[in-house]
Amino acid sequence: MHSSDPQLLTNARELASQLAADVAQASTRLEHIRLTARANEAANLLQALEKLLTTGEIDDEEDEPRSLS
């Protein structure tokens, strides 16, 4: 984490990291699938926030989902 990052970006990074770590703790296939989907959504949101804060641009188009793996 960067000390100059806005708190929102720091929180988004922490959430994405926590969700990615939770995937490894899944006890069933269904839970693994659900957690992976949430972790990917958090990672995509983090990328969008980083882009917004660095370039001022917002992606309004639906891009293909990015995977953590």
Residues of the chain with pLDDT under 70: 1-3, 61-69
Q: For residue 61, what pLDDT is reported?
A: 62
CB 16 within 8 A of CB 40: no
Q: For residue 1, what pLDDT is reported?
A: 47
> Is residue 58 packed enough to be buried (19+ CB in 10 Å), middle (13-18) or exposed (0-12)?
exposed
pTM to 2 decimal places: 0.73
Task: List alpha helices for 2-65, DSSP H.
Answer: 7-23, 29-55
Q: For residue 63, what pLDDT is reported?
A: 56
CB atoms within 10 A of CB 23: 19
